[in-house]
Amino acid sequence: MTMMLSVLLAAGVTASSAFSLRHAGSTTVVSSRPPTSLRMSAALIVQNKGGGHGELGFQLAKNLSSNSKITSITILQDAACNDSKEPFASYVSDIPHVKIVKADLADESMTAEDMQSLLGGQSYEYVWDNASKDATGAGKAVVDCAKAWNSKLLTYVSSAGIYKPDGVFPIPETAPVKSTAGQVLYENYALENGLPFVSFRPQYIYGPKSNKWDYIDWYFDRLVRRVPLPIPGDGTQKVSLTNSEDVASLLASVLNDEAAAVEQTYFNCGTNQLVTYDEVATMCAEAAGVVYVNIQHYDGELGKAKFPFRLTDFYVAPDMAISKLGWEGPKHSLKDDLAWYFESYQARGAMSKEMSFAEDQEVLVTA
């Protein structure tokens, strides 16, 4: 990359535009001129291309738009996102005052200098990273930039999947984690650099503009086709499914008490309204107008079901965020949300999609 930049600079191309050329087709660059003054309340959201966390940047930007501490918002968006799908299709209409900068966040060669060039030399007091999976490439660049900017807070969206649960539920923030997990390596790198750092660990997320519907669709797929729902164990295992708007308000709650956020560092992220696997089935049936719910419990191997089934409870609680950050708790409940969710399920054509439940049958036959 250094040799390439040297050649381009010799031809009169700036470092910022050189990086743009190297990422032609996948980068939208804002003005490369340095800002006339440091905007000390500027917020940067680094957003991934989609999946379970795909809606969080959008919802967080909407939340921060009404926060008096924030005067400008930029989303550094992974260019691999599909602009015709949600939430990305609603960026312009629903968050029109937010600046969108696109970049190849999967580029392992990206440095802090590259990222700063993409952002036009802007500095950010608050950074939320909802894209990085580890401390390499763009992940390392985010941390390095936050350090160079002397940011007041770097808030990271990690995952509750890094925990090694030992049977204590809800899983506490002090539970052991997988030391080699990429998210843990990111957390460690940020702390090693002395940053004012906060990490949220969410679980299963759903939302109105999601691009991942697997969790709850698993129930509707079977209910509307009148086929059995194979659920492991006795179906009383507890799980938390959290609306993305509640997750966004949790992420924004670091602004309520920045000192407390940094002091605690780690926060579990999810609703405190727990449901069991069987309760989800019953609620989905009610939303879909299905009278008979054919649940078939089984023991042993979990099979290949897309829903995050486990043989035991598996959930976190937002108690720490409520007590330390003054988070008011979730404004949504799964039961109430299933009405619009089922409308979305129908609108997506999911009811008419051809499906095979061969794996379900294998699980039930061998149980």
Beta strand 266-269 with 229-232: parallel, antiparallel or unpaired?
unpaired
* Residues 84 and 224 grouped into a single domain: no
What tens digit of pLDDT does each residue of 339-359 get?
999 999 999 999 999 999 988
Shared domain check, 255 and 293: no
pTM: 0.87
How far apart are alpha carbons 251 and 128 in whole angstroms?
8
Which of 269, 286, 306 marks a domain boundary? Answer: 269
CATH number of the domain to which 128 belongs: 3.40.50.720
Residue 4 lies in a domain: no
Of all helices (H) and strands (E), which one includes residue 202? strand 197-202
The length of the chain in residues reads 367
SS (H, E, C) 68-95: CCCCEEEEEEECCCCCCCCCHHHHHHHC
Q: Report the domain count for the chain.
A: 2
SS3 158: coil
Same domain, 253 and 230: no
Phi first, then psi: what are they for 268, rounded to 5°? Answer: -75, 150
Please tell me whether residues 283 and 198 are part of one structural domain: no
User: Which residue numbers in the chain have pLDDT < 70?
Assistant: 1-40, 300-306, 366-367
**Cα–Cα distances in Å, from 308 out to 177, 217, 218?**
19, 12, 10
Helix (H, G, I), strand (E, B) or coil at 101: strand
Q: Is residue 57 part of a domain?
A: yes
Q: Are residues 187 and 262 in the same domain?
A: yes
pLDDT of 40: 57
Instruction: Let me know whether 60 and 203 are in one domain.
Output: yes
Q: Answer yes or no: is 325 within a domain.
A: no
Q: What is the CA radius of gyration of the chain?
A: 22
What is the reported pLDDT for 364?
80
In a domain, 86, yes or no: yes
Which residues, at least 6 apart from 129, have a Cβ–Cβ distance to it below 8 Å? 46, 139, 142, 154, 155, 156, 157
- Residues 202 and 278 both lie in one domain: no
- Is position 6 within any domain? no
Residue 239 is inside which H or E element, if any?
Answer: strand 238-239
Distance CA 247, CA 75 (A): 17
Residue 320 belongs to a domain: no
Looking at the structure, tell me whether residues 109 and 46 fall in a common domain.
yes
Considering the domain architecture, whether residues 247 and 231 belong to the same structural domain is answered as: no
Say if 1 falls within a structural domain.
no
Token pair for 248? 């966004």
Domain span at residue 340 reads: 214-241+272-314+333-366
- Rounded distance, CA 73 to CA 45, Å? 8
Residues 86 and 45 in one domain: yes
Is residue 202 located within the same domain as residue 296?
A: no
Contacts by 109-112 with C-beta closer than 8 Å and gap 24+? 109/1, 109/137, 110/137, 110/138, 110/141, 111/141, 111/144, 112/140, 112/141, 112/144, 112/145, 112/148
Q: Are residues 171 and 237 in the same domain?
A: no
If DSSP states are collapsed to H, E and C, what string results for 269-315?
ECCCCCEEHHHHHHHHHHHHCCCCCCEEEECCCCCCCCCCCCCCCCC
